[in-house]
Amino acid sequence: MNKAIIFMGLGILLPYFLKAQQSKLKENCIKIKVRLDVTHKNDTLYLYHFINTLKNSSLENDSSRELLATMDNDSLFRFIVPINSSSGQFVICKKTFIKDGLYIIPITRTYLPEFGDDVLFIVSEFAKPFKKQQKNYKVVVKGKGAEKYNIQEEIRNIINDVNAIRNAPPAFDEDFNYNSDNAYSRETKAKIQYLESKRGQLSAHIYNILKADIIYRNAGIIESWISAYIDRKLANEEPKLAKSMREKFRAQYNKYLLENPETGIPVSDLIFSRKYIPYILSKTIKCDFVVNGIEKSDLFNYLKNNYRGIIRDRLLTTYFLEPDFTDRNTDFKHLPEALTLVKSEDCLKELKKLEKAATYNFSLQDLNGKMVKMSDFAGKLVLIDFWFTGCGACKTYYKDHFSAIKSYFRDNTNVVFVSICIDENLASWKKSVYTNEYSSIDAVNLTTFGHNREVLRHYGISVFPSVLLIGKNNKVLAKNDSALLEKDSAIKLITKVLNDF
């Protein structure tokens, strides 16, 4: 009898419990719909959700989550995006195969999600397929959450619009006298003023992120001017004059620029600014060197000793993730220590991926049917070119750059050149190699037999050609850097790495 009552009670309560769980699940998701004015039957859109915004802008960010949607019967692309209290940002893109390669084309700008968002993006024009960057498109956003996107767009448009901004004096004169009423400072004031007028339409969290982006974008520009000044004024002057100019620089820097901008923004919001962390790292490298003598190789210890908490976690993680901040020639000797210092779950996840990368060992087939492993190149410097037959940009890169780099180091046994093709057709791949259009028989030629392979996922390869430089300890030293995509700069970079072997 008692058991019957218990089961009867469970039967009554279970539907209510399931309904509550479903309601909670819905509350933790946001709804995104996209309507394109020009569509094709098999169109697919991709939503890249950058969970922790550790990187500044890359669509190949390993910390992103990729969702996809196809067009439904209502001519809409629908995404249901799970979020939590700190859900970063996302951007919606198309992937397009054309003769020049595979491009990821953003059709929206970055969006800052919040609980309850339900928005419709109406895209009436978008980037031409041969353009890598978002240009020539119009986006209208409607629904709950649209206000913050539209406000972001208005903020971006406040640039060189006002005569007072356009006619403002430069930040520094030739003697490095600093003018705080410079063009970008005026622009920043205009943007902050506009943001303040819209504050009532935004949550405190979104308001603070947008404010931080404005302030640290301006601060970053000033820091880049300082860097340009250092290069122009200090490096090329006579030692005596350079010393005099350095002292003048220090005086101005200490007076106006040494301290980070005071924003009053809570750290819990500041860490989600796309501009803050890169600004701190860039400032330390470019300017503190002149004032405090901080060498780039000392950056890890400087960050470790001068920052605490989540800010330090993000600074240290970005230090390892971004090749502009780390020394490409190191073997990540500080990574084990970083893993003991960093406490943030998101940051630890990224650092552990880097640690795992050191042991990744792909196995792919060569032209003779033999399986070749990454471990076969242990102790070597490896340059890898990913490509596919029919990719015009892949063909151009091989003929103009990769082959020249390979030829330059042909007598150096410490460098290995690996050519990885994603063709599904074996005959097509071999023909492309033997005709010297995309590779040559003196490279290590391997195939993935298709684009859906672990080696591509592991290295985050989604555009072609993609070029990786992997060090002797199996660390990715550079990926698709401008230095790798041009023969002279690539030769210079590889030579520099070899000198440290």
How many CA atoms lie less than 13 Å away from 71 in the CB half-sphere? 13
Sign of CA dihedral 162, 167, 173, 179: negative
**Hey, is 20 helix, strand or coil?**
helix
Q: Do residues 303 and 347 lie in contact, with contact meaning Cβ atoms separated by under 8 Å? A: no
Higher pLDDT, 3 or 141: 141
- 342: pLDDT confidence band, cut at 50, 70 and 90? very high
Q: What percentage of the chain reaches a pLDDT higher than 90?
A: 35
Question: What tokens does 237 get?
Answer: 């002057």
**Which candidate, 375, 390, 364, 366, places its Cα nearest to that of 454?**
364
- Mean pLDDT value across residues 62-81: 83
* Residue 48 pLDDT greater than 80, yes or no: yes
Q: Which residue has the higher pLDDT, 430 or 8?
A: 430
User: What is the token pair recorded at 453?
Assistant: 């392979």
Instruction: Write 398-405 long-range contacts (CB < 8 A, 24+).
Output: 398/437, 398/438, 398/439, 398/465, 399/437, 400/487, 401/485, 401/486, 401/487, 401/490, 402/467, 403/440, 404/487, 405/487, 405/490, 405/491, 405/494
Give the model's confidence band at 59: pLDDT under 50 very low, under 70 low, under 90 confident, else very high.
Answer: very low
What value does the CA radius of gyration of the chain take, rounded to a whole number of Å? 26
> Which comes out higher in pLDDT, residue 61 or 66?
66
With CA atoms as reference, report the closest residue to 325 among 129, 434, 478, 159: 478
Q: DSSP state, 252?
A: H
- 2: pLDDT strictly greater than 80: no
Residue 25 has pLDDT above 50, yes or no: no
Model pLDDT, residue 320: 81
> CA of 123: how far to CAs of 38, 94, 126, in Å?
9, 12, 7
Give the torsion through C-alpha atoms of 337, 342, 348, 352, to 10 deg.
0
How do 89-98 and 363-366 pair as beta strands?
A: unpaired
Largest CA distance in the chain: 100
Interval 300-326: pLDDT, tens: 888 899 899 999 999 998 888 775 555
Domains 26-145 and 363-499 share a fold: no
93-138 per-position pLDDT tens digit: 887 765 545 667 888 988 999 989 999 999 986 545 444 444 467 8
Highest mean pLDDT among 214-228, 270-284, 484-498: 484-498
pLDDT of residue 19: 44
Mean pLDDT, residues 471-485 taken together: 81
CA separation for the pair 118, 65 (Å, rounded)? 19
Which of 40-54, 222-236, 285-299 is most confident? 40-54
Does the structure show a pLDDT above 90 at 384?
yes
The pLDDT value recorded for residue 106 is 86
| Averaged pLDDT score across all residues of the chain | 79
| Closest among 449, 355, 480 to 61, alpha carbons compared | 480
Is pLDDT above 60 for 11?
no
Residue range 363-499 in CATH 3.40.30.10: yes
Q: In whole angstroms, what is the distance from residue 385 CA to residue 204 CA?
A: 46
Q: Residue 439's closest CA among 383, 381, 385?
A: 385
Give dist(CA 424, CA 50) in Å, integer.
31
pLDDT at position 355 is 74
**pLDDT reported for residue 453:** 75
Give the Cα separation of 125 and 129 in Å (integer): 12
Tell me the percentage of the chain whose pLDDT exceeds 70.
Answer: 71
> In this structure, what token pair is assigned to residue 37?
């004015």
Q: What is the CATH number of domain 26-145?
A: 2.60.40
pLDDT at residue number 415: 95
Question: For residue 467, what are its two tokens?
Answer: 């070029």
Q: What global pTM score does this model have?
A: 0.69
Q: Exposure of 115 by Cβ count < 10 A (0-12 exposed, 13-18 middle, 19+ buried)? A: middle
pLDDT tens digits, one per residue of 202-254: 999 999 999 999 999 888 877 777 666 666 655 555 555 566 666 776 776 66
Residue spans of beta strands (DSSP E) within 131-290? 138-144
- Residue-level pLDDT at 256: 65
* pLDDT value, residue 24: 44
What is the residue extent of each domain of the chain?
26-145, 309-357, 363-499
Within 10 angstroms of residue 251's Cβ, the number of other Cβ atoms is 13
The span from the CA of 105 to the CA of 126, in Å, is 9
Q: How confident is the model at residue 433 (pLDDT cuts 50, 70, 90)?
A: very high
**Residue 177: per-residue pLDDT:** 72
